[in-house]
Structure 1
C-alpha cells in the first residue's frame, strides 16, 4: 500500500496531467511536496549517502583551437539542459520543491538519483513521505494500469518519443516530447546550432544541425544516420532521448541524456581492427541458424574517448562506461553501430572499485588476472555484442524490444555481457586479441559481476548480472572457498557461456515474453550467500559507483 502523502502527490500530478499544455512537472506542488518538514531519511538510508566516490572528468584540450574550445563549451550548455528534462521524466513532482526540502548530503544524494528513490537499491525510497517508485516513472499517469493501457487505442501509444497523459474526460492520449518540452528543447537546439558554427569538421557540424532539428521535430532517425557517417571528428556529443531503461512498465519510452566526448586517437587506432570480424562472429554464434540470420552492418566503429560531461539518464545512479548506439534497429541493420569506450570513466571504476572488490572476493592466486586491459576489452566487446544476435522476432511480428516489453533491456544487457565474453574467447584463440592470457578476461569478468550486481534489481545491468551469477553458479563456472573467495573454472565457465548465450538468443528470437519473465523471476535474485559477500564489500568501504565533478570549469573553459 502506498503512503498517503505519495497518493496525494499522485492525485495532484494526475489532475495536472489532464491539460495537454502541461506535463506533470508543471503541476502545482503536491501535498507531499508542499510540506517542507516532511522529508527526512528513512531508517537505514544514512549509510547509503556515501556509496558514490567522486571523480573529476577532464581531458587535454591543448591541441584544440579557440573555436573548438568554444564549440565544446556550447555542447556542454546543450547537455546541461538534458538534466532538467530527465528530472521531469523520472520524477512525478516538482524538482525545485523537493530539493529545497532537503539539505547537504541528502540533497546531493537526491540530485544523484534524480528523485527520492535510490537507484542502486532497487529504487527504494530513501526519503519519508514517498512510496514505491512508479514503474512507468513520469512517462505515464501514475494511476494508469497495464490493463487500461493495453485496452486503449490512440496515436503514439508505443512511441519512443511521447508521453502518455489523460484528457479532460480521463481518456489516454500521447503528447510528443517536442511539444511537452518545447521550451527547453528549443534552448538545446539553439546551443547545438551555435556549436556547429564553431565546428571545424563539416560532418560534425552537419550532425549538430540535424540533431537540433530532431529535438524539435521528434524525428531522430535522419540524425542517427548522419551520426553513423562521421568517421574522424575529434569531439562528439550523444544527446537526446535514447535509452528506455527508465520505463520499467513497458520499456517503450526513451529518456533524455547526454555525453560530451573527446576522442583518444591512440587507443581508437588500436580498436579499429576488431570491427572486420563482426560478420564472422555472428555466423559462429552458439545458436541455431535462424537466430543469427540477420547480418550486422559492416560500418561498425570502435573508438575510445575521454568523457568530459554526463547529463540526464546517463548521469543517474550507476554510470555508463561504454556506449553502443544508435538503438534504431533499421539504422543498425543498414549501418551497424558506433561503440564508444569512455576510457577515463572506465579507469576510475577499475581503480576505485573493481580492484578493491577483487582483493576481497577473488582467491589470491587469481588476483593477478585482474587487469585493466581485460576490463577494457570485456567492456568494449559488451558494446560490440549489442550488434550481434537478432533484432526482429522470428514470427515477423516486430522487434525484440516490443515483444519483450519491460524485460527487453535487462535481457539485452545480459546478451551483450555473455556474447562479449564469447567474442573475447573467439578473438583470443584466433590470435587477434593478443594482450595477456584468456584467464585474465574470464577472471576479470567474474569480478565485474560482483561490481555490477551491486547496482540492484531496478538497474538493467544489475539484473542481468544477477541472472548470470546464478546461472554460472548452477553450472560450476566458479567455486567459493571457506574464506568466501571465488575462483574461476575455465572449462565450466566456457560451457556456461555458450549455453547461456544460446538461451538468451532463443528467448529474443522467439519474442518469448513469458520465458524472459520466468528467467528473471528464477535467476534475477541475490541469494543469502552472495548478499553476505556483498555486505563485506560495504564493510570494507568499497564504493558502489562513481559520481562526477564536471563542467566547463574543470576543462578550463569557464567564462
Structure 2
C-alpha cells in the first residue's frame, strides 16, 4: 500500500510519458499480482532511456534463495551522471563487436545484440535488499527473453563505487597483500579505473552477451541452485577476457594494458585469498558472487599450473599470489568463458554442479586462517555499509520548494530509525 501510494505520487511528476506509463504498469502489478503485468512493466522500463531520474523497484534478485525462485524486495532512486556515462556509452556502442569477437562458440553468440542501454548513476535513495550494502552495478531485466527481444539496462552506481575506492585508498591492504612494489604502484595508479571498467564490462557486455539454445529452459530452471553463481562467473569472465584487449584503448576508455593487468592482479588475489576474510573459519563459501570469484581464480590456477601461469609465493612467512604470464591467463579466461557459456546455453546442470563444487565452495583451512590473521591486524571491516541521506522536504505553505539533506549521527541510529519508521508488518503471525 505504501509503495503504491508513493508510486502514484511519482506518476504526477514523471519526466516523460514513457516513465509515467512505466510507473502506472508497476502500480497495476502491485495491485493485481499479475505476473504478465510484471513482464509488461520490465519491457516498458527498458524503453525509458531518456529520463535523467530513474528507479528500480520490486522483488528482483534471488541470490538469497538457493533454488533461485524467491526474490527479495529492493528499491533504488537515482539520477544520471552525464559525464561518467560517456565512458560506459563508448563500451555499449561496441556491444556487437565484443559479441562477435568473444571466444564462445558461434552458435552461442547473439547475431544481433539488442538495445543495451548503459549509464552511470548517482544513487539518491536505496532500500530493501539494496541497502545498507548496495551492489556496484545492475543489469536488468533478469528475464532472458526480454533481454533478447527488447534489450536491457546496464547501470554502474558511480557514487557507491567512488565511496568504496576512497575508503580502500589508504587502509594498508595493498602493502600487506601485494607481492611487489610494481604491483602496488600499478594498483594505486590504475586501481579505480580498472575496477570501474570491470564493472562496466560485467554489466554492459557480460550479462547481455550470449544466448540460450532453442528449447532449453532458463538457467534458473536448468542449473537450479547453481544458476546465480554460473551467471556471475559468465559476466565476470567476459569482463576479464576483454580487459587485456587493445580494443578498450582503441575506443578511448583505457590508457594502457597495465589497467587490465591491475584488474587481473586484483581478481586472482581476491578470488584465491582476501575475500576469505568475510567467512568464518571452518565454513564453506555459500554466497553466489564469492563462489564465482573463487571458481574463476582456483580453476585458472589449476589450469595454468603446468606452465606456472599463477603462483603462490612465500615471503617472511606470508603467502602471496603472483601472476607470471598475463597473456596466458587471458587465454585461460577465454577457455573458461567458452565452457561457462556452453553450460548456460545448453543447460548442463551436471557440469555446472561439478565446476562450482570443485572450485567454488571448499576453502584451504591453513590459508583461510592466515588471511583472517593478516586482515585482522589491518582492522578493516570485511563488508561496508552505507549511511543514507535523509531527504527532508522544505515547504512554503503546502508547496515543496526545496529538499534538505540530513544524515544520522551513525549507522546504528540510522538502522534504529528505519526499524521504528518502516516496520510495517506485525512481529507476530
Give the TM-score of the pair, scaled to structure 2. 0.79
* Aligned equivalents of 1:433, 1:526: Cα separation in 2: 40
In structure 1, the partner of 2:287 is 459
Matches within 5 A, 1:385-534: 385-390=206-211, 392=212, 394=213, 396-426=215-245, 428=247, 431-448=250-267, 450=270, 454=277, 457-474=285-302, 475=304, 476-483=308-315, 484-488=319-323, 489-524=325-360, 525-528=362-365, 530-534=367-371
In structure 1, the partner of 2:7 is 192
Instruction: Confirm or deny: 8 A CA contact 1:454 1:462 kept in the other structure.
Output: no
Instruction: Confirm or deny: 8 A CA contact 1:287 1:502 kept in the other structure.
Output: yes
Aligned partner (choices 206, 230, 235) of residue 21 of structure 2: 206
In structure 2, the partner of 1:544 is 382
CA distances 1:228-276 after superposition (whole Å, capped 9, x unpaired): 111221211101011111111x112222111111211111123212212
In structure 2, the partner of 1:176 is none
In structure 2, the partner of 1:167 is none
Instruction: Confirm or deny: 8 A CA contact 1:353 1:544 kept in the other structure.
Output: no
* Aligned equivalents of 2:352, 2:258: Cα separation in 1: 30
| Structure 1 spans left out of the alignment, 5+ residues | 1-185
CA distances 1:382-417 after superposition (whole Å, capped 9, x unpaired): 112101122x2x361322231001100011001111
SS in structure 2 of the partner of residue 479 of structure 1: strand
| Structure 2 spans left out of the alignment, 5+ residues | 280-284, 393-402, 407-429
Instruction: Confirm or deny: 8 A CA contact 1:263 1:306 kept in the other structure.
Output: yes
Q: Is 1:264 the equivalent of 2:96? A: no
Most deviating of 461-470 and 346-355:
346-355
Instruction: Confirm or deny: 8 A CA contact 1:477 1:496 kept in the other structure.
Output: no
Quote how far apart the aligned CAs of 1:315 are.
2.3
CA distances 1:142-167 after superposition (whole Å, capped 9, x unpaired): xxxxxxxxxxxxxxxxxxxxxxxxxx
In structure 2, the partner of 1:378 is 198
SS in structure 2 of the partner of residue 388 of structure 1: coil
Q: 1:397–1:415: structure 2 CA closer, same or farther, 3 Å change rule?
A: closer
SS in structure 2 of the partner of residue 324 of structure 1: strand
SS in structure 1 of the partner of residue 94 of structure 2: helix
In structure 1, the partner of 2:127 is 311
Give me the CA root mean square deviation. Answer: 2.3
* Aligned equivalents of 2:120, 2:248: Cα separation in 1: 24
Quote how far apart the aligned CAs of 1:339 are.
0.9
Q: 1:323–1:447: structure 2 CA closer, same or farther, 3 Å change rule?
A: same
Q: 1:267–1:293: structure 2 CA closer, same or farther, 3 Å change rule?
A: closer
CA distances 1:180-204 after superposition (whole Å, capped 9, x unpaired): xxxxxx3211211102212333332
* Aligned equivalents of 2:277, 2:290: Cα separation in 1: 7
Aligned partner (choices 112, 128, 139) of residue 324 of structure 1: 139
Q: Is 1:556 the equivalent of 2:404? A: yes
SS in structure 1 of the partner of residue 55 of structure 2: strand
Aligned partner (choices 78, 99, 102) of residue 282 of structure 1: 99
Quote how far apart the aligned CAs of 1:452 are.
5.0
Matches within 5 A, 1:142-161: none
Q: 1:494–1:518: structure 2 CA closer, same or farther, 3 Å change rule?
A: same
Quote how far apart the aligned CAs of 1:485 are.
2.9
Instruction: Confirm or deny: 8 A CA contact 2:88 2:119 kept in the other structure.
Output: yes
SS in structure 1 of the partner of residue 123 of structure 2: strand
CA distances 1:109-160 after superposition (whole Å, capped 9, x unpaired): xxxxxxxxxxxxxxxxxxxxxxxxxxxxxxxxxxxxxxxxxxxxxxxxxxxx
Quote how far apart the aligned CAs of 1:432 are.
1.5
SS in structure 2 of the partner of residue 242 of structure 1: strand
* Aligned equivalents of 2:256, 2:226: Cα separation in 1: 35
Aligned partner (choices 297, 301, 318) of residue 117 of structure 2: 301
Instruction: Confirm or deny: 8 A CA contact 1:242 1:255 kept in the other structure.
Output: yes
Q: 1:347–1:313: structure 2 CA closer, same or farther, 3 Å change rule?
A: same
Q: 1:504–1:530: structure 2 CA closer, same or farther, 3 Å change rule?
A: farther
In structure 1, the partner of 2:397 is none
Q: Is 1:336 the equivalent of 2:156? A: no
In structure 1, the partner of 2:62 is 244
Q: Is 1:254 the equivalent of 2:71? A: yes
* Aligned equivalents of 1:453, 1:227: Cα separation in 2: 37
Q: 1:454–1:236: structure 2 CA closer, same or farther, 3 Å change rule?
A: farther
Give the TM-score of the pair, scaled to structure 1. 0.62
